[in-house]
Chains A and B, each alone.
Chain A
């Protein structure tokens, strides 16, 4: 009703609330997309080059029976696909979320508008989904260029990698939004991302681990993502096995969304 802003005649573009928040992140991403494209392409190039080709040559000389009879590059690529989805998801769900509450306070700004805390959470998960789809697609394309994909089923590894990332993003965001000091975020990397990256079957089969610790690896979402991506890329996937992995990852994602709906509300409606 202000004279400075008389209502305009046009109908508003009434996007659902979560999509409004997704559009915020897309506007934000316009600042940084160039740098992010470079690292998206460079990461798989460097990893597949150094580990897959460099280290792989040595590995292959000692026989590949433990790898299921495929070259190390072919063994490694699907594992790295899932692991890098995890890494990207954790990156998106820690500092950007923390900063939105503590530094820029853009989350507080958004809940002063009609958006609800859960809309902010879901909007960001949509953004993470888009980014994971992009980075995982690029990863698969680079892997294909290296000749690391041997089955047409590899294309199905794309949604599996995205799901793997989301199974990390949702619970970590649910936790990040409750943090009051950014030092706790480093803990996620130190005790979460790095051990998982190294011991969830990305670089060597989990069967190489001592028997007593293997069950721990089987509980981690990353192992399920790695196992299914690998089975798809090698063309050895079975339907029951695939469903089991997907169900596990989906359950972790659902639990994360359930938790985040609550933690976001508690943090932003005080």
Chain B
């Protein structure tokens, strides 16, 4: 059974909250030093398939927290449990100190959700979408009108307010979804793969807006399989793989812990690729990854390592010395690449 939150409890919350506007950074019902979200051995199974396999994490106010992992890692299932639309199979989950199963509507009243797939009403206009959504939170028309104007400015859609949503591009729809997710002035914003499917330019606009929200102190939780997205936006993240958390920390900490300062990427003629990869074993490196098309050497100094490669008589078609990224962390932790 899925118990229903008495309507009166949500209504009471709606009334107190709008009358007593909380000071910035405070969250109703949660002492200042407590985590906003706490999960312990959180598990989600669908039949025999275990999507989320006993994960632990905590989210604190003002943080930008990420779940990084490839498709099927269990990120979206975790987000849906936090969003109180998916009852956990086992383990503990508390959001604002409340139980997502018993108090789903009261929790959702304080969340902003940007789902992976757009859920806009494409027949309505941009402005009507915000109106309809604001009403779901019990906001008055005046409040919605005032917030819509500011939010559409914020996502740079003010000039499209009267347009129907259907013909808008994917990037504009995403920005509208972000505006919509902020209509209730949420304590936590959940973003499930916020830029998947967008072209690079549209993605940068979304990143810019999310970065501004982060700068303003909005608590963000996001899932992504783009390591650059995680590096740019997340203060702290966990690397997920096959329903489990493989590692956690800030992007810098993870790179320091699981990779080397530099990476030397070498590409050889396919005809000699395997042979060259074997010979490279004698080059001093902390780690060597042989991919289908490249060989990666994890070293403190990439240029020095390239010199050592050349002194073996190997001449790569291309060579690149770069800093380590979360992609390297993921490869190290799981033996696989993120975007495969």
**Which A residues have a C-beta under 8 Å from some C-beta of B?**
1-17, 20, 23-24, 27-28, 31, 104-106, 108-116, 118, 265, 268-270
Contacts and interface: CB of A to CB of B under 8 A. Distances in A.
B231 to A, nearest CB: 23
25 contacts: A5-B151, A5-B185, A6-B21, A8-B18, A9-B21, A12-B14, A12-B18, A12-B137, A12-B138, A13-B139, A14-B14, A17-B105, A20-B138, A108-B119, A111-B108, A112-B83, A114-B108, A114-B109, A114-B137, A115-B105, A115-B136, A116-B5, A268-B85, A270-B46, A270-B86
A64 to B, nearest CB: 48
A20 B186 CA distance: 19
B183 A106 contact: no
A112 B112 CA distance: 8
Given A4-B182, A108-B115, 13 more contacts: A1-B27, A2-B217, A3-B24, A3-B217, A5-B147, A7-B22, A9-B21, A13-B139, A24-B135, A104-B119, A112-B111, A115-B105, A116-B105
Nearest to B188: A1
B322 interface: no
Given A112-B83, A116-B104, A268-B85, A15 B135 contact: yes
A80 B122 CA distance: 35
**Closest 7 interchain pairs by CB?**
A113-B136, A7-B21, A109-B119, A114-B105, A112-B113, A105-B119, A3-B216
Contact of B119 (A4, A106, A115, A265): A106
A31 B138 contact: no
B34 interface: no
Contacts of A116: 4-5, 104-105
Contact of B218 (A2, A105, A114, A118): A2
Nearest to A27: B132
Contacts of B154: 4
A108 to B, nearest CB: 5
A2 B85 contact: no
Nearest to B28: A1
Given A2-B213, A4-B154, A114-B136, A10 B142 contact: yes
Contacts of A115: 105, 136
B115 A20 contact: no
Given A1-B27, A13-B138, A113-B133, A27 B147 contact: no
A71 to B, nearest CB: 44
A113 B109 CA distance: 6
B247 to A, nearest CB: 29
A269 B135 CA distance: 21
B232 interface: no
> Which bucket holds chain B's interface residue count?
35 or more
Given A3-B24, A113-B137, A11 B19 contact: yes
A12 B140 contact: yes
Contact of A1 (B122, B143, B187): B187
A3 to B, nearest CB: 4
B249 interface: no
B147 A112 contact: no
A41 B10 CA distance: 42
Given A104-B120, A104-B121, A110-B136, A4 B213 contact: yes
A15 B218 CA distance: 28
Nearest to B4: A116
A2 B113 contact: no
A104 B216 contact: no
Contacts of A105: 117-119
A28 B119 contact: no
A104 B123 contact: yes
Contacts of A113: 108-109, 133, 136-137, 184
A112 B18 contact: no
Contacts of A108: 85, 115, 119
